[in-house]
Amino acid sequence: MTRKIIALTILLLATACVPPIVATPPQEPIKIGFYSVTPQIEWNRSMMSTRESWTIDGYALQALRFYTVGDGQTLSGQTDPDGKSPAFHKSMLPNEIQEFFVETLAAGGWAKVKPSGLKPAKFGSLPGFRFSFTMVEKDGLEYEGMALGAVKDDELNLILYSGTKLHYFPKYKPAVEKVFASISM
Amino acid sequence: MIGARNFAPLVAVLLLAACVAPPPPVADLKPGERPDINSDEAGLWMQMDQVEEMLKTSGHVVEDRKLNDYIRSVTCKLSAEYCQHLRLFVVQTPHFNASMAPNGTMQVWTGTLLRAQNEAQLAYILGHEMAHYIRRHSVQKWRSIRRTTDSMAFMGDLAQIVAMTSVLAFSRDHERESDDIGFDLMVKAGYDPAEAPKTWRALLAERDADGEEKDKPSVFFSSHPAVEERVETLDAKAAPLAGQGIVGDKPYVNAVKRHRRAWLKDEMRKRDFAGTQVVLANLAAAGHPAGDIKFFEGELYRLRGDEGDLKEAIVAYRSAIKAKGAPVEVHRSLGLAYWKTRQNKLARKSFSRYLAAAPKAEDRAMIQSYIDQLK
Amino acid sequence: MSLAVNGNGNIKGWYYFLVVAAFGLFLGGCTTSMTESYTGGTANQETVKLDTKKARVVLIPLDIKLTELTVAGLEEPKAAWTEQARKHVTDGLTAALAEQGLTLRPYKKPAKSTSLRRDEQLEKLHATVGGTILFHHYGQMYRLPTKKGEMDWTLGATARQMGGEQNAEFALYVFLRDSYATGGRKAAVVVSRILGGTTQAGERVGFASLVDLRTGKIAWFNALYSDSGDVREAEPARKVVDNLLSGFPS
């Protein structure tokens, strides 16, 4: 390690005092709003975001994210005053939530976003829905994903898993299925 | 690709906007000519060769062979000797634009294809882009920007803005030159010259649709002449020749119809609802099936979701079903709109119709659960 | 600063920005006399067993570009320089590895479109994995605790198919971006430094990696950053190559 990388480390460390990324104990439930999930395996959990974001190999390769979106908010939880960004509305039906999600990805620069297999699914004890999707990153790298969601108290709860079609998405898909099944209220 | 990403804005701003006419006269690029390897022009070519490599495998390119062949055939009608040195990329993005890189990489955006109404209008747009290539506008622009910015590095902010404005003034001259050459190319190829100004006129209608003056060029960074000015110039040129030549609405509608729905979905995402209404009206006028257009009108209202929009959506969906050519999804959308306006019985009926028309729908389980809930 | 950007999952662009910004931090604090390169090769000892005499290593065509920085900091792409550099770096890689007894094999562009598409996807995945390594491995701050400091990344089992078609056990990928200052730019740098600015004179960012095509694993990876050196001439290019290859398994 040269002294430059040390200098970089010092510079970066100076800006943050908490460890930015920590590991999750596999069997310890993690509380996310009104529900908890059990990680099943050790994930790397970002502590720098208000939203739960987990990964194994790096956020550009695969990520498991937990969204809570209020009425009128964008997926990232912002309110959009000029109505130019896709926003969630509490009256939305699952088909429309999927549409909102696809629009959000397209607006974020993803190409050829294609959802499939929308069906009813349990979100813990709540009636919810799930679907899969494929998409292509701007430079052409192919990604896959799946989402599980439910609306409670006018808020959309969405758990999203996505990653590169080559290797990184399929590798932890079974673990994520177990995370989906572990939701408890 | 770190570098590629860093360069992307540079490329976008300086090269693709390829639009300019400056002090030292530059000779036309001859068909098949390549710049000297040690020249700045060769650097620009290399840059665009690399961008082209990325473009080839990028997720945004529309690969449909027939569509690409069709656009290429129109390009070759304009100039058989230059068209073989151009490489066409149809890029999926809902905005009106096309671009020409110095090395002959030509991009045509799907937002442009959605807006053009016939082959003559497409020919005018392609002719305009071809003129940028022949007149080597990119390298002219690069040289003038480089000259100006070199001195700017030592200047303050205000001086930079003034300098920038003078660079972009060249740009507008290049656009005018391309307008002229593009017009001449389309007329020579036998197209109806009256179609050329219509392209711009439709854009004006779209821009002014909601009463606001959006897209008004900002004081410092407008690179195109005022659209009004272009319409006037083209009108004057077209007047003596109008009505002579090919319009080509049928072959054009045929070439783009398979993509219409995908492009309209992209168009909706812009959330420029008033502008999209103008686009839909123009599509109907160009001869696209009324059922499809009405369906998207309904989608537009449903997505906007203002007071009373769901009712408007229902009206549009119902007339889409009556007319020909609506997609089966019209029943699903109608069902959603009925349900949200508490017309549960009608909603159930529409969902059932959707499943009957599309028994293998990928969201069948979800729709079935709606029907069950509505019982 | 948040790791989960924009809610749409599109983190990659931001990633690169951060990697470059992190490198940029070095420059901000350094003077023009900075000459040493940052190299930090890390071999995953468990997976790398390379018998240089026998190993079949295919060289993936270099991802390389040279530009000139104008006075104002615009980057003018240089075709002639890039061609020279491609030749010098390729020759340098070939020669440096030949000294270790390793003969690099040229990449054969597949005739089948499915194979070509697969290789393109692998190359794109490699670029993303490379960015991830720069960020999550070299970026100490953003290390992933479950990796326990190990260089543990892969292109997945699909790489095996490419290995079969190329008849190779390993693939060597090289990424290089290089910019040089014009005379006018150098003057602007001096003026700017006097005024306390951080105008840059030119820089080089790159990485090289060796992928084990039997497993897909990144067997070896090395990153390079410097603001001196020259790949337009054979001799200094060889120095850059030696830096890039430092720690190459043997």
Report the C-alpha gap between C210 and C151 in whole angstroms: 12
pLDDT > 60? residue B216: no
pLDDT > 70? residue B351: yes
Q: Which of B226, B247, B268 corresponds to the end of one domain?
A: B247
Minimal CA separation from C226 to chain A, in Å:
11
Report the C-alpha gap between C17 and C237 in whole angstroms: 27
CB B55 within 8 A of CB B61: yes
In this predicted model, which residue has the larger pLDDT, A178 or C240?
A178
Span B315-328, mean pLDDT?
A: 94
Q: What is the mean pLDDT of chain B?
A: 81
Say whether C74 and B10 touch across the interface (CB within 8 A). yes
In this predicted structure, what is the pLDDT of residue A79? 86
CA dihedral of residues C166, C167, C172, C178 (deg, nearest 10):
-30
User: What is the share, in percent, of chain C residues with pLDDT greater than 70?
Assistant: 65
Q: Please tell me which residue of chain A has the smallest CA distance to C154.
A: A167
Least confidently predicted of A107-121, B66-80, B100-114, C109-123 = B100-114
Which one of C13, C74, C75 has the shortest CB-CB distance to B5?
Answer: C13
In this predicted structure, what is the pLDDT of residue B95? 85
CB B60 within 8 A of CB B91: yes
List residues bridging with A129 in a β-sheet: A120, A149
| CB neighbour list of residue C111: distance below 8 Å, 6 or more residues apart | none
Q: Please tell me which residue of chain C has the smallest CA distance to B148.
A: C72
Least confidently predicted of B162-171, B227-236, C179-188 = B162-171
Domain identity same for B35 and B56: yes
Least confidently predicted of C2-11, C140-149, C218-227 = C2-11
Domain identity same for B261 and B243: no
Question: Tokens representing B119?
Answer: 């082959």
Say whether C79 and B46 touch across the interface (CB within 8 A). yes
Q: Is C33 on the interface with A (CB under 8 A)?
A: no
In this predicted model, which residue has the larger pLDDT, A144 or B211?
A144
Domain identity same for B203 and B222: yes
pLDDT > 60? residue C22: no
Report the C-alpha gap between B13 and B2 in whole angstroms: 18
In this predicted model, which residue has the larger pLDDT, B244 or B119?
B119
Minimal CA separation from C142 to chain A, in Å:
7
In this predicted structure, what is the pLDDT of residue B337? 97
In this predicted structure, what is the pLDDT of residue C183? 57
User: What is the share, in percent, of chain B residues with pLDDT greater than 90?
Assistant: 41
In this predicted structure, what is the pLDDT of residue B112? 92
In this predicted structure, what is the pLDDT of residue B56? 78
Domain identity same for B182 and B292: no
C27 pLDDT band, cuts 50/70/90, is very low
Q: Which of B189, B221, B247 corresponds to the end of one domain?
A: B247
pLDDT > 80? residue B115: yes
Cα–Cα distances (Å) from B130 to B90, B232, B235, C28, C187, in that order, read: 15, 22, 21, 44, 40
In this predicted structure, what is the pLDDT of residue B358? 96
In this predicted model, which residue has the larger pLDDT, B291 or C29?
B291
Span B234-246, mean pLDDT?
A: 85
Minimal CA separation from A124 to chain C, in Å:
23
Domain identity same for B134 and B164: yes
Give the count of alpha carbons within 13 A of C162, CB side only: 28
Span B308-337, mean pLDDT?
A: 95
Instruction: Flag whether B252 is in a domain.
Output: no
Q: Please tell me which residue of chain C has the smallest CA distance to A60.
A: C12
Which one of C4, C22, C155 has the shortest CB-CB distance to A46?
Answer: C4
B327 pLDDT band, cuts 50/70/90, is very high
Residue that is written with structure tokens 């990324």 in the block:
A21
| CB neighbour list of residue A19: distance below 8 Å, 6 or more residues apart | A47
Which one of C71, C80, C205 has the shortest CB-CB distance to B42?
Answer: C80
A169 pLDDT band, cuts 50/70/90, is very high
In this predicted structure, what is the pLDDT of residue B19? 35
CB B318 within 8 A of CB B343: no
Least confidently predicted of B3-17, B220-234, B302-316, C30-44 = B3-17
In this predicted structure, what is the pLDDT of residue B60? 84
Q: Please tell me which residue of chain B has the smallest CA distance to C203.
A: B3
In this predicted structure, what is the pLDDT of residue A40? 94
Q: Is C19 on the interface with B (CB under 8 A)?
A: yes
In this predicted structure, what is the pLDDT of residue C64? 82
The DSSP code sequence of B289-304 is -HHHHHHHHHHHHHHH
Q: Where are the beta strands (DSSP E) in chain C?
A: 38-39, 42-43, 57-59, 63-69, 75-77, 104-106, 170-181, 204-212, 218-226
Least confidently predicted of A164-173, B104-113, C164-173 = B104-113
Span B61-74, mean pLDDT?
A: 93
Report the C-alpha gap between B187 and A81 in whole angstroms: 47
Domain A3-181 sits in CATH 3.40.1000.10: yes
In this predicted structure, what is the pLDDT of residue C79? 74
Burial class of residue A94, CB neighbours in 10 A (0-12, 13-18, 19+): buried
Question: Tokens representing C174?
Answer: 């090289």
User: What is the share, in percent, of chain B residues with pLDDT greater than 70?
Assistant: 82
In this predicted model, which residue has the larger pLDDT, C61 or B338?
B338
Domain identity same for B217 and B267: no
pTM, two decimal places: 0.80
Q: Is C11 on the interface with B (CB under 8 A)?
A: no
In this predicted model, which residue has the larger pLDDT, B167 or A52?
A52
Domain identity same for B124 and B272: no
> pLDDT for B261-290, tens place per residue?
999 999 988 888 889 999 999 999 988 999
A119 pLDDT band, cuts 50/70/90, is very high
Span B339-362, mean pLDDT?
A: 96
In this predicted model, which residue has the larger pLDDT, B69 or B211?
B69
Say whether A75 and C8 touch across the interface (CB within 8 A). yes
Burial class of residue C7, CB neighbours in 10 A (0-12, 13-18, 19+): buried
pLDDT > 60? residue A3: no
In this predicted structure, what is the pLDDT of residue B30? 83
Report the C-alpha gap between C96 and C238 in whole angstroms: 8
pLDDT > 90? residue B123: yes
Instruction: Flag whether B188 is in a domain.
Output: yes
B124 pLDDT band, cuts 50/70/90, is very high
Q: What is the mean pLDDT of chain C?
A: 73
Report the C-alpha gap between C124 and B159 in whole angstroms: 42
B146 pLDDT band, cuts 50/70/90, is low
Domain identity same for B49 and B170: yes
B132 pLDDT band, cuts 50/70/90, is confident
In this predicted structure, what is the pLDDT of residue A18? 56
Residue B295, phi-psi category: left (phi > 0), alpha (psi -120 to 50), beta (remainder): alpha
Domain identity same for B166 and B262: no
Which domain does B288 fall in, by range? 257-374
Which of A58, A16, A49 is closest to C141 using CA atoms? A16
List residues bridging with A136 in a β-sheet: A111, A142
Minimal CA separation from C13 to chain A, in Å:
9
> pLDDT for C94-113, tens place per residue?
999 999 899 999 999 999 98
Say whether C76 and B43 touch across the interface (CB within 8 A). yes
CB B140 within 8 A of CB B44: no
Total domains, chain B = 2
Which of B294, B173, B196, B200 is closest to B243 using CA atoms? B196
Domain identity same for B101 and B240: yes
- In the three-class reduction of DSSP (H, G, I as helix; E, B as strand; rest coil), residue C134 is classed as helix
Minimal CA separation from B295 to chain C, in Å:
28
Greatest mean pLDDT range, B332-336, C49-53, C84-88: B332-336
In this predicted model, which residue has the larger pLDDT, A65 or B134?
A65
Question: Tokens representing B192?
Answer: 């109806």
In this predicted model, which residue has the larger pLDDT, B192 or C5?
B192
Cα–Cα distances (Å) from B337 to A90, B301, C138, C144, in that order, read: 15, 10, 53, 47
Q: Is A109 on the interface with B (CB under 8 A)?
A: no
Q: Which of A105, A110, A139 to mutate to test the interface with B (most CBs of B within 10 A)?
A: A139
Q: Is C195 on the interface with B (CB under 8 A)?
A: no
Span C158-181, mean pLDDT?
A: 89
Q: Is A71 on the interface with B (CB under 8 A)?
A: no
- DSSP H helical ranges for chain B: 2-10, 40-56, 65-78, 80-83, 110-115, 119-134, 137-152, 157-188, 195-207, 227-238, 249-256, 260-268, 273-286, 290-304, 309-322, 329-340, 344-357, 364-374
Q: Is C175 on the interface with B (CB under 8 A)?
A: yes
Amino acid identity for residue B27 in this structure: A
Q: Is C49 on the interface with B (CB under 8 A)?
A: no
Domain chopping of chain C, boundaries: 12-244
C115 pLDDT band, cuts 50/70/90, is very high
Q: Is C16 on the interface with B (CB under 8 A)?
A: yes
C42 pLDDT band, cuts 50/70/90, is low
In this predicted structure, what is the pLDDT of residue B177? 83
Question: Tokens representing B344?
Answer: 């549960």
Contacts of C184 in chain B (CB under 8 A): 150, 153
In this predicted structure, what is the pLDDT of residue B270? 83
Q: Is C198 on the interface with A (CB under 8 A)?
A: no
Cα–Cα distances (Å) from B99 to B116, B127, C27, in that order, read: 16, 11, 36
Kindly report the CATH number assigned to the domain that includes residue B279.
1.25.40.10
Cα–Cα distances (Å) from C49 to A158, B13, C208, C213, C248, in that order, read: 45, 48, 18, 13, 11
Least confidently predicted of A164-168, B131-135, C106-110, C230-234 = C230-234
Domain identity same for B177 and B272: no
In this predicted structure, what is the pLDDT of residue C171? 96
Least confidently predicted of A132-136, B360-364, C146-150, C230-234 = C230-234
Domain identity same for B154 and B278: no
In this predicted structure, what is the pLDDT of residue B325? 86
Minimal CA separation from C48 to chain A, in Å:
20
Chain B residues with CB within 8 Å of chain A CB: 1, 4, 54, 57-60, 92, 266, 269, 271, 305, 332, 336, 339-340, 362-363, 365-367, 369-370
Q: Which of B205, B224, B247 corresponds to the end of one domain?
A: B247
> pLDDT for A79-106, tens place per residue?
877 777 899 999 999 999 999 999 999 8
Span C13-30, mean pLDDT?
A: 38
Which one of B1, B43, B151 has the shortest CB-CB distance to C77?
Answer: B43
